[in-house]
């Protein structure tokens, strides 16, 4: 029987359509059908200035908007050859790790809810409220922050921001203990997730899976540690790797990443350097508001950047970061004008979704839901 797990479905985490060919309760073939959220972001980027693309990048992987911002902004800064001051880099790392916690909380809540543990959903979203309030404090927006700019950050963070982040990091490990209390030793959870939807190490690499999907199968590779960017080389953290390759292994990887990200945020708070938050490049970075109101050159630069954009030297760059889902990459091609010639987003989920047939074929129908949740897909990234 061919069954349609349609685009509107509570367990598909977005508008994913999965066409299942089942024989009783066993899945014979599974084929994802995507494209329901395709909005032509890559095409739109070609019609915008470089700084106007930043809000577009938020909406691609909408659960980790700051990571998208970071990846794009790093790519353009590489094209320009800009040097970013250390305070901006450390703040970027801090916010990036808060975003990772944010995204993993949504993953845990929705994944547990799919499998049946409804309490965890509300617990996770309670912590997520704190993080969203932190994002609102720093950028004005809860989700689509667009806080990073080419050359640094948009605004300095408010004065009490670091105290609030510190208060959050103090209580967060006990909350992760709460989630683990509910799930890790729970026999229902282990029966639904251990040995389910396995994928081998070689298959994961061959299919292009990255992030916890790949690390759950034993591949020890994390872009933050192995090919560091934006100051990650200054931070000490462990990269959780599991070997079984099943849903439980990926779950353990991500839950431990929650704890590791919390540790990175604490390190960022402790070692935050002083200094400017924007690079010294008047033709690219907007001047301070006060300077713009009092100095003529600043006003002219402000006007030129907003109305004409800044020209980026010709070339191409592929910048990859470790998003909560895996390797997110931006391939930016510039032709010397103020608008990018081509922006391509390498979506981590698009490659991770290719592991779904390998995981589910030959297994029970109920395991499909667990598998989709464990890959942690975000349709905005897959479809763009």
Residues that bind other proteins (CB under 8 A): 34-35, 38, 40, 42-44, 46-47, 78-83, 205-210, 219, 221, 226-227, 313, 315-318, 320, 327, 329, 331, 333, 341-342, 344, 346, 350-351, 353-354, 383-384
Eight-state DSSP code of residue 207? T
Q: For 161-174, b where at least 16 C-beta lie within 10 A, e where not — what string?
A: eeebbeebbeebee
Q: How far is the CB of 185 from other proteins (least distance, A)?
A: 33
Q: Which of 126, 283 has the CB closer to other proteins?
A: 283
Q: How far is the CB of 226 from other proteins (least distance, A)?
A: 5
Q: Which of 161, 341 has the CB closer to other proteins?
A: 341
Q: How far is the CB of 51 from other proteins (least distance, A)?
A: 18
CA distance 156 to 310: 22
Q: Which of 32, 173 has the CB closer to other proteins?
A: 32
Q: How far is the CB of 241 from other proteins (least distance, A)?
A: 13
Q: How far is the CB of 257 from other proteins (least distance, A)?
A: 19
Task: Report residue 46 as tokens.
Answer: 């070609």
Query: What distances in angstroms separate CA 81 from CA 87, 275, 318, one per listed residue?
Result: 18, 20, 14
Q: How far is the CB of 292 from other proteins (least distance, A)?
A: 24
Asked if 230 and 74 count as a contact pair (C-beta separation under 8 A), the reply is yes
Q: Which of 259, 344 has the CB closer to other proteins?
A: 344
Residue 324 burial (CB count, 10 A): 26
CA distance 201 to 192: 22
Q: Which of 298, 356 has the CB closer to other proteins?
A: 356
Q: Which of 109, 152 has the CB closer to other proteins?
A: 152
Cβ partners under 8 Å of residue 313, min gap 6 = 79, 80, 81, 334, 336
Q: Which of 81, 116 has the CB closer to other proteins?
A: 81
Q: Which residues pair with 20 in a beta bridge?
A: 3, 30
Is 20 in a helix, a strand, or coil?
Answer: strand
CA distance 93 to 313: 27
CA distance 201 to 319: 25
Q: What are phi and psi of 98, to 5 degrees?
A: -60, -40
Q: How far is the CB of 293 from other proteins (least distance, A)?
A: 29
CA distance 47 to 52: 9
Q: How far is the CB of 353 from other proteins (least distance, A)?
A: 7
Q: Which of 40, 187 has the CB closer to other proteins?
A: 40
CA distance 241 to 211: 10
């Amino acid at each position: 029987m061919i069954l349609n797990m349609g685009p509107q479905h509570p367990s598909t985490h977005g508008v994913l359509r999965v066409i299942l060919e089942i024989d009783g309760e066993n899945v014979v073939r599974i084929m994802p059908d995507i494209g329901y959220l395709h909005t032509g972001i890559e095409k739109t980027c070609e019609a915008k200035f470089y700084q106007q693309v930043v809000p577009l990048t938020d909406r691609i992987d909408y659960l980790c908007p700051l990571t998208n911002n970071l990846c794009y902004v790093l790519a353009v800064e590489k094209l320009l050859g800009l040097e970013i001051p250390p305070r901006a880099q450390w703040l970027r790392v801090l916010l990036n790790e808060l975003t990772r916690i944010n995204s993993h909380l949504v993953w845990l809540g929705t994944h547990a809810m799919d499998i049946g543990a409804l309490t965890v959903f509300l617990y996770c979203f309670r912590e997520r409220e704190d993080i969203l309030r932190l994002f609102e404090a720093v950028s004005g927006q809860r989700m689509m922050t667009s806080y990073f700019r080419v050359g640094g950050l948009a605004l300095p963070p408010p004065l009490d921001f670091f105290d609030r982040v510190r208060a959050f990091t103090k209580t967060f490990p006990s909350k992760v203990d709460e989630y683990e209390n509910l799930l890790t030793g729970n026999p229902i959870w282990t029966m639904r997730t251990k040995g389910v939807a396995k994928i081998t190490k070689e298959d994961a690499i061959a299919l292009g899976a990255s992030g916890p999907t790949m690390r759950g199968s034993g591949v020890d590779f994390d872009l933050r540690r192995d090919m560091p960017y934006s100051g990650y080389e200054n931070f000490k953290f462990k990269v959780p790797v599991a070997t079984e390759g099943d849903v439980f292994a990926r779950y353990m990887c991500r839950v431990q990443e929650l704890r590791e990200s919390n540790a990175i945020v604490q390190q960022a708070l402790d070692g935050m350097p002083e200094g400017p938050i924007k690079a010294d490049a008047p033709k690219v970075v907007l001047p301070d508001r006060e300077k713009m109101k009092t100095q003529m050159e600043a006003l002219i630069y402000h006007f030129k950047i907003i109305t004409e954009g800044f020209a980026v030297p010709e070339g191409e760059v592929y910048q990859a970061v470790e998003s909560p889902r895996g390797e997110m990459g931006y391939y930016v091609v510039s032709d010397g004008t103020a608008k990018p010639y081509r922006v391509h987003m390498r979506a981590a989920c698009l490659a991770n979704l290719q592991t779904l047939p390998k995981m589910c074929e030959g297994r029970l129908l109920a395991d499909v839901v667990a598998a989709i949740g464990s890959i942690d897909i975000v349709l905005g990234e897959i479809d763009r």
